[in-house]
Chain A
């Protein structure tokens, strides 16, 4: 078994095929999109492959240590940030091929005109525990 992160970007991924901003969709198209995502997650729960799904607010704050006894420094958000994560889904699957298949399915979520968005999702394997038998 291997865990994978399916990363959805606000910015930073290549343009999708069906590239219309969400605020230009009809309300029904937005509902259909949300329903697709919920159904997808529910199906993964049933197959025993679902681990987690979360969405992130688009705007965040940069924080860093500023020395002993001083409060942390904050900065941002930066309008020019190239890579912005929108959310993720974590799956636990038997193979890389299965992870690809599921990512492809999620990318087919409907957008404008009810057609698949063909959105680019980033697939990242989790680090595992080291195996016991190595030689």
Chain B
């Protein structure tokens, strides 16, 4: 059975329940129940109309729960037995769900969890496993998030920017468990792009595709990080790159530049180079200038210094770096790299070792330690 297809149906089913008058939290619970039921029943007895099946089962579950609730509170008039006919399904039901799950009143982690469950159709157990927390903790996080947004009206457009930040987080920060969060983020962004015509949504989708295309070459079989310049470019996914570039070009032609489009443009320039030496660093620096203008982010300035080092030589890169706070993450690693390029191996070796001590993740720490070891071996002659 195609679990992906089942999960594609999730937001639509949820939207139907909410439109029929179910409150969001209860509707979401009912849909989860229906998904579990589908996983149990469908393999032996696949329905002709999967979405209709899910709506029927979820609505029944919702009514059962509401009735039990009503009996408990001795309030029988809360829910109508038969659903009101309601308006024809609106195109942007799914969109409203994205807005709700990324509502600004939620913390980033809550928004991520709720999006993966209510829009992505993942189970609480899968989300807990993906973020390495106990299932009970994730269940609480999700139910708190649902309570937080339960008063939010479902009929007002939200801010696309908050949705994009949540999807970016799912793509960029997770663990490598059973659930492929990067693929999930792409799936959700693709569907968002189908629901709303917005250049930054397209920009984010392009960015994800372009980075995902390089995934196979980013780590060695033993888990070692392989830097961009050393990656085997024949292993890049050319179909994903072509799709990412096409989506990006469509977005850029709208002339409403945003940070995700600019980031995607940089990724596209890397993807476009047949070899690392052929990278168009001058153009990449120009895109970083745009990104600095758009975001003012110190992390972007740091990455720009790397690009300047490639375009105009390591001295220019070090000069750009000197203007930045040395407390920035990866500042020391960048300094080490630029000093090595400049031929000062002793300084570079010391900085690599220091950068390794400050690295926020194991793969990066091991990579930096190896860089220091490589230079120290050369220095010993």
Question: In the complex the two chains form, is A48's CB within 8 Å of B176's CB?
Answer: no
Contact of A48 among B110, B215, B270 (CB under 8 A): B110
A50, closest chain B residue (CB): B137
Interface string of B282-310 (1 = CB under 8 A from A): 00000000000000000000010010000
- Roughly how many angstroms separate A129 CA and B176 CA in the complex, as a whole number? 8
Question: In the complex the two chains form, is B137's CB within 8 Å of A128's CB?
Answer: no
Question: In the complex the two chains form, is B137's CB within 8 Å of A48's CB?
Answer: yes
B141, closest chain A residue (CB): A48
Within the complex, the shortest CB–CB distance from A100 to chain B, in Å, comes to 16
Chain B residues near A47 (CB-CB < 8 A): 140-141, 144
Chain A residues near B362 (CB-CB < 8 A): 127
- Name the interface size band of chain B: 35 or more
Chain B residues near A131 (CB-CB < 8 A): 172-173
A1, closest chain B residue (CB): B109
Question: In the complex the two chains form, is B131's CB within 8 Å of A1's CB?
Answer: yes
B227, closest chain A residue (CB): A134
Q: A1-B173, A45-B140, A94-B107 are in contact. Are A51 and B134 (CB under 8 A)?
A: yes
B contact face: mostly helix, strand, loop, or mixed: helix
Give the A interface residue count (CB, 8 A). Answer: 23
Chain B residues near A130 (CB-CB < 8 A): 225, 361, 363-364
Question: In the complex the two chains form, is A92's CB within 8 Å of B173's CB?
Answer: no
| Interface status of A135 (Cβ within 8 A of chain B) | yes
B171, closest chain A residue (CB): A132
| Interface status of A125 (Cβ within 8 A of chain B) | yes
Question: In the complex the two chains form, is A48's CB within 8 Å of B140's CB?
Answer: yes
- Roughly how many angstroms separate A10 CA and B361 CA in the complex, as a whole number? 29
Q: A1-B131, A48-B137, A135-B303 are in contact. Are A128 and B360 (CB under 8 A)?
A: yes
Interface string of B204-224 (1 = CB under 8 A from A): 000100011001000000000
B212, closest chain A residue (CB): A132
- Roughly how many angstroms separate A118 CA and B365 CA in the complex, as a whole number? 34
Contact of A133 among B137, B172, B176, B364 (CB under 8 A): B172
| Interface status of A3 (Cβ within 8 A of chain B) | yes
Chain B residues near A83 (CB-CB < 8 A): none
- Roughly how many angstroms separate A85 CA and B173 CA in the complex, as a whole number? 30
Interface string of B124-143 (1 = CB under 8 A from A): 00000001111011111110
Interface string of A93-135 (1 = CB under 8 A from B): 1100000000000000000000000000000010111111111
- Roughly how many angstroms separate A130 CA and B182 CA in the complex, as a whole number? 13
| Interface status of B194 (Cβ within 8 A of chain A) | no
Question: In the complex the two chains form, is A132's CB within 8 Å of B172's CB?
Answer: yes
- Roughly how many angstroms separate A127 CA and B176 CA in the complex, as a whole number? 14
- Roughly how many angstroms separate A132 CA and B267 CA in the complex, as a whole number? 12
B138, closest chain A residue (CB): A48
A48, closest chain B residue (CB): B141
A135, closest chain B residue (CB): B303
Contact of A132 among B112, B113, B144, B211 (CB under 8 A): B211
- Roughly how many angstroms separate A48 CA and B117 CA in the complex, as a whole number? 15
Within the complex, the shortest CB–CB distance from B191 to chain A, in Å, comes to 20
- Roughly how many angstroms separate A51 CA and B175 CA in the complex, as a whole number? 15
Most B-side CB within 10 Å, residue of A46, A50, A129, A134:
A129
Interface string of B161-190 (1 = CB under 8 A from A): 000000000011111100000100000000
Within the complex, the shortest CB–CB distance from B164 to chain A, in Å, comes to 13
| Interface status of B245 (Cβ within 8 A of chain A) | no
| Interface status of B158 (Cβ within 8 A of chain A) | no
- Roughly how many angstroms separate A92 CA and B113 CA in the complex, as a whole number? 13
Question: In the complex the two chains form, is A135's CB within 8 Å of B270's CB?
Answer: yes
| Interface status of B350 (Cβ within 8 A of chain A) | no
- Roughly how many angstroms separate A21 CA and B138 CA in the complex, as a whole number? 37
Q: A134-B228, A135-B228 are in contact. List 8 more A-B contacts (CB 8 A).
A: A1-B108, A46-B140, A47-B140, A50-B137, A94-B107, A127-B360, A129-B173, A130-B361
Q: List 21 A-B contacts (CB under 8 A).
A: A1-B112, A1-B131, A1-B173, A45-B136, A45-B137, A48-B139, A48-B144, A49-B141, A52-B134, A92-B131, A92-B133, A125-B360, A127-B360, A127-B365, A130-B361, A132-B172, A132-B182, A133-B207, A135-B228, A135-B270, A135-B306
Which B residues have a C-beta under 8 Å from some C-beta of A?
A: 107-110, 112-113, 131-134, 136-142, 144, 171-176, 182, 207, 211-212, 215, 225, 228, 263, 266-267, 270, 303, 306, 359-365
Q: Which 10 A-B pairs have the closest CB atoms?
A: A48-B141, A48-B140, A1-B109, A130-B363, A128-B361, A94-B107, A130-B361, A127-B362, A131-B172, A132-B172
Which A residues have a C-beta under 8 Å from some C-beta of B?
A: 1, 3, 45-52, 92-94, 125, 127-135
